[in-house]
Structure 1
Amino acid sequence: MTYQPIPVPPRDNRRTLRIVLIVVGVVLAVCCLGGAVGGFFLYGAAKEAVGPVREATTGYLDAVRAGDHQRAYELLCREERERTSRADFDRRQAAEPRLVDYDIAGLTVNNTNGRVRGTATVRLTTETGGESTRVLTLVKEDGAWRLCG
């Protein structure tokens, strides 16, 4: 009597493929969810960092556009106010064409060796129709952002 091995049923490749696809799908879902959550928090942190810089820039430019030189002068940094008297600031503002519109094109915040600075790139439109792009520098003084230089 000869011994005959019991035949092994053929392996079902579809089951293996299904398991692999499920594992890959779960890994992709976790990566996408992690990326979305991380992106949300990163966006929130970036917005929190540049939000006050945007507010200070718009406050200053709104005051200049409205002709409220007192308010605009108050939004300057201490160093700038010491360098320029209120009368000189008023004369300088009166000599320039009146600002009618502006657009904030970019904002940055840098912390170098504990010194926090911001910049705002703005496109200005004057009543004469002239357009220019300026980079405004901001510093944080006493917890508030102020234009400086």
Structure 2
Amino acid sequence: MAYEPVMVPPKNPRTRRTVLVVVGVVLSLCCLGGLIGGSVLWNLAREARGPAHDSVDTFAGAMVARDFPTAYGQLCSRMRNQQSQADFVRQQSERFTSTGYEIVGVNVTNRNGRVGAQADVRWLLPDGASGTQVLTLIKEDGDWRICE
């Protein structure tokens, strides 16, 4: 009995190219999906921070403009119940000296369904120095309020 070799199909030079094209397409789709997913997550995070940032901006802008009644309106009800608007205006008129501000960052959190935020505000002082204050915010009746 003679040994007969098994027939081996001829090598197809297109097989390697086809595999590389398929792998390239899959990698491209994965990268594109990552970019789109990252962009969507970034926009969602920005949308969550936006209203809190706007409330801090309104408060800080009113404080620097010495429009203390407007700043008082940005406080949460607990703080407004502890101090009347007249007392707040009088106290801030005597003490507040900032000439400008910069909102350094806003961080919105959701812990067990309780939404809150913290904002870092750098206050510019008349002598050129600055100081950073962390403002705590809560969501009250759908609006963000300063509630230290």
- The bucket for the TM-score relative to the shorter chain is 0.7 to 0.9
Specify the alignment match of 1:124 in structure 2.
123
Q: How far apart, in 2, do the equivalents of 1:39 and 1:148 lie?
A: 32
Distance 2:124 2:81 in 1: 28
Query: CA-to-partner distance for each residue in 1:64-116, whole Å, 9 max, x for gaps?
Result: 11110010001100001111222331233123342222221211112223322
Paired residues for 1:37-76 under 5 Å: 37-76=36-75
**Higher mean C-alpha displacement, 94-103 vs 43-52:** 94-103
Shift of 1:145: 0.6
Identify which range, 29-38 or 68-77, moves more after superposition. Answer: 29-38
1:99 counterpart SS class: coil
Inter-CA distance 76–5: structure 2 relative to 1 (3 Å threshold): closer
1:6 deviates by 10
1:37-60 Cα distance to aligned partner (Å, 9 max, x none): 211211121111111000000000
- The whole-number CA distance in structure 1 between the counterparts of 2:102 and 2:142 is 25
Residue number in structure 1 paired with 2:26: 27
Q: What is residue 147 of structure 1 aligned with on the other side?
A: 146
Partner Cα distance (2:6, 2:50) in 1: 74
Give the Cα separation in 2 of the matches to 1:82 and 1:20. 71
Runs of 4+ in structure 1 displaced over 6 angstroms? 4-7
Q: For the Cα contact (< 8 Å) 1:104–1:121, is it kept in 2?
A: yes
Give unmatched runs, 5+ long, in structure 2. none
CA distance in 2, matches of 1:25, 1:116: 43
Partner of 2:80: 81
**Displacement after TM superposition at 1:15 (Å):** 2.2
- Unaligned ranges ≥5, structure 1: none
Q: CA RMSD in A?
A: 2.3
For 1:41 and 1:6, locate their aligned partners in 2 and report how far apart those are by CA, in whole Å: 56
Larger CA deviation: 121-130 vs 133-142: 121-130
Identity of aligned residues (%): 46
Matches within 5 A, 1:92-107: 92-107=91-106
What TM-score does the superposition give when structure 2 sets the normalisation length?
0.87
So what's the TM-score if we normalise by structure 1? Answer: 0.86
Aligned pairs, how many?
A: 147
